[in-house]
Amino acid sequence: MAFAAASLSPPPPYYYSLPNLSPKPLLNKIHPFSLLHRPPIFRIGGGLQLQGRDSLNFNLFASVTSADLLLDEAVEKTQLPKGDTWSIHKFGGTCVGTSERIQNVANIIVKDESERKLVVVSAMSKVTDMMYDLIYKAQTRDDSYIISLDAVLEKHKSTAIDLLVGDDLANFLARLHEDINNLKAMLRAIYIAGHATESFSDFVVGHGELWSAQLLSAVVRKSGSECVCMDTRDVIVVNPSGFNQVDPDYLESGRRLEKWYSQNSSDTIVATGFIATTSQNIPTTLKRDGSDFSAAIMGALFRARQVTIWTDVDGVYSADPRKVSEAVILEKLSYQEAWEMSYFGANVLHPRTIIPVMKYDIPIVIRNIFNLSAPGTTICRTAGIGNEDGYRVESPVKGFATIDNLALVNVEGTGMAGVPGTASDIFAAVKDVGANVIMISQASSEHSVCFAVPEKEVKAVASALESRFRQALDAGRLSQIAIIPNCSILAAVGQKMASTPGVSATLFNALAKANINIRAIAQGCSEYNVTVVLKREDCIRALRAVHSRFYLSRTTIAMGIIGPGLIGGTLLDQLRDQAAVLKEKFNIDLRVMGITGSRTMLLNDMGIDLSIWRDLQKEKGEKADIQKFVQNVHGNHFIPNTVIVDCTADSYVASHYHDWLRRGIHVITPNKKANSGPLEQYLKLRTLQRQSYAHYFYEATVGAGLPIITTLKGLLETGDKISRIEGIFSGTLSYIFNNFVGARTFSEVVKGAKEAGYTEPDPRDDLSGTDVARKVIILARESGLKLELSDIPVQSLVPEPLKARTNSISDITSAEEFLQQLPQYDQVLAKQRQDAEATGEVLRYVGVVDVVNQKGTVELRRYKKEHPFAQLSGSDNIIAFSTQRYEKQPLIVRGPGAGAEVTAGGVFSDILRLASYLGAPS
């Protein structure tokens, strides 16, 4: 079958407009070029033979016309200036996506004060996809390719009408229509053949860059500036390198650039991105991110001062801002850092874009065309940043990048150890199926090799390996070829990592504290990056955890508050008042994701507005559900760290601590029930807490806001030996006995304490001594004693007839009844006070931990008036630690021990201690 292609006959040779020549007037006014109007001229033979649908071959060849020879003889060579006078700009498709944006780019070019500038442009936004779609439709014989081509024509036609007038508009539209007609003929040929070669595809797709370059150069000239167009296929020569890549021929490209410039010298050049030619003058493209690559190649050829890549973001972020909202713009990156980050999925630059400029130390600047005030990110030889005092304050890790949808392949067996060529055979099999190995990890024992590949390729890889090693598997030399799906890679990148000890330790510690397990690790000897493989569902949480740990963002903690009563409500108010200061000065972001009481709860995925939390609880509160509450607080993958703050005195809530810690949820509480409950449960809880990376803080269980637990732990951890702990642990009972003086009766003081808000709603809860006994058992267990609460003898101050018992109809059940009948028993305590005063002593209700004799007691004791316990006032607590170091003079801790403010403050202090442990600066 044969057909004529008369419409593809070559046009007359194109003559450049140059001095000393007499070109046609129209060509002298413009600098047009098109695919069929450019030297060398590509012609499509007038009669093509079609031999089968896969055998259509267009004979593309270069022709040196007589005009070219005339030019070579007539043109006086113009020396190409190179060096810092040139700046290279690259504008992507988004930057030239509309007529308004093209005008904006033209304004930037005109205002650039560089002595000389070369501007590389991509096709208008979406045009490259439209051109590929044309080829696909033509190949599949979809007649709608004609309508799609009309849409391409209309897009550029309307843009030109918006931007140009007069001859400029007429000339552009004439070239546009000519190109479209030629494309129709070419697509028709592809339609008939049902196939398009790579060269023909590249030829068709390249029109988008040509049209955008023509439009932009015309707009620049319209502003009064001199400007010429460059079809980079006249300059950039590349050679295919396999794997859908090309290598620039810099020597030949430089030679062609010299020739091109001698014929088109100008201080402003608009050049096409993405497209190039082979050494055989066959049109091709620079493949992925080709326009960036074009700009870098031009930067190297011109030895430019810098290459600016204009995009729609403010620069390179320390992490994907869609995953880490606190990601920051990096002021500088080294070439190697940018290379590593781009390889691992960061939206920086393709690694090959960096190669051309590295040789000549040409910086690349990433800038936002929509935010000209942003300085952007500079990629250069060194990336050190110092402050005004000369101190280097940057983190050793510059940024983090992730790759999702991976699978790990683990080849394992004792027969691998010491056998040369095993790894070679493994990766030869992987190569045979065309899979891309993202990461490799092998232990020195050579017992196993594991590597990561895209999940879509893992089945083919597994089949190839099983086929290649079938004999070794059957013989037992290999034990397994295991596939671990649903993985992601997290890479930490930084040039200073190599010279900073402990970076890997910090990275792994941050992941551990976020309760994230690592499946594989890889690190090159350059130490520019440390790569870990994780479960896919853990990736975002891991990214936020490590990002926070290296001070690149705030330490963010998702919080759930249980019990918004007196203490919990006060804590929420304290969090509200301090939130701004914590963010600004301490880099801590505490987000309350849930508040729950026994009946209603308030949830919010982004964090509750604490300025109106009480109103929100009334308006939007839902039925309390502890499981749903915890899931909402802990299930936010964008926040790596979770803490539940239990402000109740509820045993049921305390029973959940073990499960929460096991799930990696930190727990902070003033609730004494867990640490004073059954010994077996307590030991199980503490064992889990020591084995996991979840923190369990309970300072406020003993001394409200006083550092009792911290002090005791500090003594024990530093090797001191505790002999005795004695103290007034109840702020309520401290207040009562500090005021039980003179003629005042005991019942009168108790009533006053309740009215002042120092007691529980039922004062018997304080007077029974149970609360003090719980504090004693907590301290006893912290000191190493294995005691149950029932092992502590407690002297109750509630008269036996007034104790509440539910099995008798004569019980005194209400607090009011208790206070009414308490005066009947005043005489007992009045007699004890008189006896103490007669010997110069006072009464104090104390708890004692006798570590030497392994016991504890809670009772009313007498102390000399010179004793520290006798000199308290108000509701102060006081605790004396007698130790090996503090044998003659006990270590005293004294301060307020009751009240919502100080208790909430103690809980708040534990929250900030947790933030510090998780990476917040101290």
Instruction: Kindly list the catalytic residues.
Output: 775
Q: Which DSSP helix (H) or strand (E) runs through 892?
A: strand 891-896
Exposure of 885 by Cβ count < 10 A (0-12 exposed, 13-18 middle, 19+ buried)? Answer: middle
Strands (E), 164-236: 228-230
**Which strands make up the sheet holding 722-728, listed edge to edge?**
855-864, 841-850, 722-728, 876-883, 891-896
Distance CA 430, CA 467 (A): 11
CA 228 to chain centre: 44
Exposure of 902 by Cβ count < 10 A (0-12 exposed, 13-18 middle, 19+ buried)? Answer: buried
- Count of C-beta atoms within a 10 Å radius of residue 292: 25
Hey, is 213 helix, strand or coil?
helix
Residue 515 CA: distances (Å) to CA of 157, 518, 669, 692: 58, 10, 20, 8
Q: Which residue has the tokens 């779609």?
A: 133
Q: SS3 letters for 279-336? A: CCCCEEECCCCHHHHHHHHHHHHHCCCEEEEEECCCCCECCCCCCCCCCCECCEEEHH
Six token digits for residue 721: 């030996």
Which of 361, 306, 356 lies closest to 85 in space, CA to CA?
A: 306
Residue 767 CA: distances (Å) to CA of 163, 216, 763, 873: 88, 87, 6, 19
- Concatenating the DSSP letter of every residue in 56-111 gives ------EE--HHHHHHHHHPPP-----STTEEEEEE-TTTTSSHHHHHHHHHHHHH
Which of 529, 525, 577, 588 lies closest to 553 in space, CA to CA?
A: 588
* Residue 552 CB-half CA count within 13 A: 30
Six token digits for residue 829: 């305590």
* Contact in structure between 671 and 648 (CB atoms under 8 Å): yes
**Which strands make up the sheet holding 448-454, listed edge to edge?**
439-442, 448-454, 399-412, 480-493, 529-535, 520-523
Residue 580 CA: distances (Å) to CA of 558, 559, 591, 794: 16, 16, 12, 46
Q: Which residue has the tokens 């005195």?
A: 649
Distance CA 911, CA 579 (A): 12
